[in-house]
Structure 1
Amino acid sequence: MRLFALSDVHVDYEANFKWVRNLSRIDYRDDVLILAGDVTHHQSQLAACLDTLVGRFRNVLFVPGNHDLWVWGEEREQTSLHKFARVVATVEASGAVMQPSWYGQTLIVPLLGWYDYSFGAPSEELRQMWMDYRACRWPEKFEVEDVAAHFAGLNREVAPAAATRVITFSHFLPRVDLVPAFVPARHRVLDPVLGSTRLERRLRQLRSTLHIYGHSHINRRVRLDGVTYVNNAFGYPSESGMTARELLCVAEI
């Protein structure tokens, strides 16, 4: 059984959704897909995308990204926590999974999270440009640290002692040095909203040896301090020159 990774498929774009629909209905029937967030903020498209993928893979394991929790254009009383609840219901209805899953002695654990500025303080430029500040909406007096703590608190406790291998995945980056050195300094303004060090602490507690992440749209495979980190983002149509735009087999399970 193969384990594939994919993130940031953004099926709001028809070209991206067409790629999903064109995936083989036969080749992956015995395989598992980790879908590491940022599918779409449109509920109907999320359902359609998950239904499509569940019909092609043995299992689809999912965590939502920031785009999936946007409430852009929705009623004012609807917060991104309400949206998260609807996303969970959509995932469950599709047959996809957001819970720790065992495959023999391999344990695969989704890590919910949010950025918490542990990668740096946001600049005024970032606050003006980052869409989450306008497209997400949180309960009154909820700060970004409260958001991150809330989602971290939803992660289920698991006992990895019986596992011979633990694989974890999240949408957000668990460490800032996953951003490669070639990224220009002018783009590092985004660092504060890329991830959270609490994700790194959690995957270390679980003794993970492979971690799948998304969000950065920078495809990478790197080994750091005994853990292999992999990002396989599909990305926006305009990013076709910088992302692989294909499924990536990351392990045999």
Structure 2
Amino acid sequence: MRLLAISDLHLSATPNRMALDRLPACPDDWLVLAGDIAERPDDLAHAFDTISKRFSRLIWVPGNHELWTIPGPEGPLQGQQKYNIMRDVARAHGVLTPDDPYPVWTGPGGPVLLAPLFLLYDYSFRPDHVPAEKVLDWAWEHRLRSADERRLSPAPHASRQDWCAHLVEQAAARLERERPPGMPTVLINHFPLRADLVTLRRIPRFSPWCGTVATTDWHLRFGALACIHGHLHVPGTHWRDGVRFEEVSLGYPRQWMPHDRGPERALRQILPAPPVS
């Protein structure tokens, strides 16, 4: 029995959708899906239909792509409303979401509280000399601008920063309240919890869209054994303060296909903790 993780399946890309069938059948294992699975509810449902047959339990957190505005029969689906719809798709397939009770892992390495989180970014992953009101200009100096600026509405919040602050406050209060005393955790979020994990060598000025400094110490504050994130499309293992941080992305076809690093190879084991190489 293992806890595995993967993210950034990006099923809107045809090669990624076709490669989904390469995920192995692991009927005794749990799988974390750490966001950016699909932009549309029907594509997310297809992912859950396919993957749920191969794993004992699924845990999902949204990425920014799940929040993108898309047309709907009653107008555009956006912001909190879009998240609610994607969450309900997950629940309809028996998939645990950030709004459900935290499960306790009792397999090898347990007991461990698994905490799926829905957090955003607030442009605070930026150099100290760049003021908040200039951060988009700073990124644009390198011709960088996230598609979120057009596609990710914060409605009904006034801004993405406000939405992020609200989500961080809610999640921190819930962890303080619901974590059993002394029980270790695995923190699961689409975005990295620390700025020093953003290793984007080719596009370093993309960092403002990658998280919030409000979570920098959460791995210590909430007793994490491991923290899971995606978003960066740079899979790897990093250590901070003796805590393991796993970036678990598959990525876009141009990133994984040249190396044939498909979904079956992108899976990363979280628990039991693999040997340290």
Give TM-score scaled by structure 1 length: 0.89
Distance 1:242 1:160 in 2: 43
Counterpart check, 1:102 vs 2:130: no
Asked if the contact 1:232–1:244 (Cα under 8 Å) also holds between the matched residues in 2, the reply is: no
Distance 1:21 1:212 in 2: 23
* Structure 2 match to 1:236: 252
* Structure 2 match to 1:159: 179
Letter matched to residue 21 of structure 1: D
Letter matched to residue 136 of structure 2: S
Please list, as runs of the form range in 1=range in 2, the aligned pairs for 1:143-222 lying within 5 A after superposition.
143-155=159-171, 156-157=174-175, 158-161=178-181, 163=183, 165-180=184-199, 183-184=201-202, 187-222=203-238
Residue 243 and residue 61 in structure 1: after superposition, are their counterparts in 2 closer, same or farther (change >3 A)? farther
RMSD of aligned C-alpha atoms? Answer: 2.2
Asked if the contact 1:219–1:243 (Cα under 8 Å) also holds between the matched residues in 2, the reply is: no
Asked if the contact 1:5–1:248 (Cα under 8 Å) also holds between the matched residues in 2, the reply is: yes
Letter matched to residue 183 of structure 1: R
Letter matched to residue 4 of structure 2: F
Counterpart check, 1:118 vs 2:111: no
* Structure 2 match to 1:54: 52
State the aligned residue count. Answer: 247
Unpaired stretches in structure 1, ≥5 consecutive residues: none
Segment of structure 1 superposing worse, 219-228 or 67-76: 67-76
Give secondary structure in 2 for the equivalent of 1:209. strand
Task: Give 1:14 deviation, angstroms.
Answer: 2.1
Task: Give 1:22 deviation, angstroms.
Answer: 3.1
Segment of structure 1 superposing worse, 133-142 or 206-215: 133-142
* Structure 2 match to 1:20: 20
* Structure 2 match to 1:85: 84
| 1:226 alignment partner, one of 242, 258, 268 | 242
Task: Give 1:55 deviation, angstroms.
Answer: 1.4
Give secondary structure in 1 for the equivalent of 2:36. coil
* Structure 2 match to 1:30: 28
Letter matched to residue 249 of structure 1: Q
Distance 1:84 1:51 in 2: 19
Asked if the contact 2:227–2:246 (Cα under 8 Å) also holds between the matched residues in 1, the reply is: yes
Segment of structure 1 superposing worse, 51-60 or 68-77: 68-77
Q: Deviations over 1:95-131 (max 9, x none)?
A: 1101421022121111210001221242226477310
Asked if the contact 1:112–1:170 (Cα under 8 Å) also holds between the matched residues in 2, the reply is: yes
Distance 2:45 2:122 in 1: 29
Task: Give 1:201 deviation, angstroms.
Answer: 3.4
Give secondary structure in 2 for the equivalent of 1:30. strand
Letter matched to residue 201 of structure 2: V
Asked if the contact 1:8–1:235 (Cα under 8 Å) also holds between the matched residues in 2, the reply is: yes
Letter matched to residue 124 of structure 1: D
Residue 243 and residue 224 in structure 1: after superposition, are their counterparts in 2 closer, same or farther (change >3 A)? farther
* Structure 1 match to 2:63: 65
Asked if the contact 2:2–2:28 (Cα under 8 Å) also holds between the matched residues in 1, the reply is: yes
Q: Deviations over 1:123-181 (max 9, x none)?
A: 22647731011111222661222110232244333224252x3211100111111123x
Letter matched to residue 176 of structure 1: A
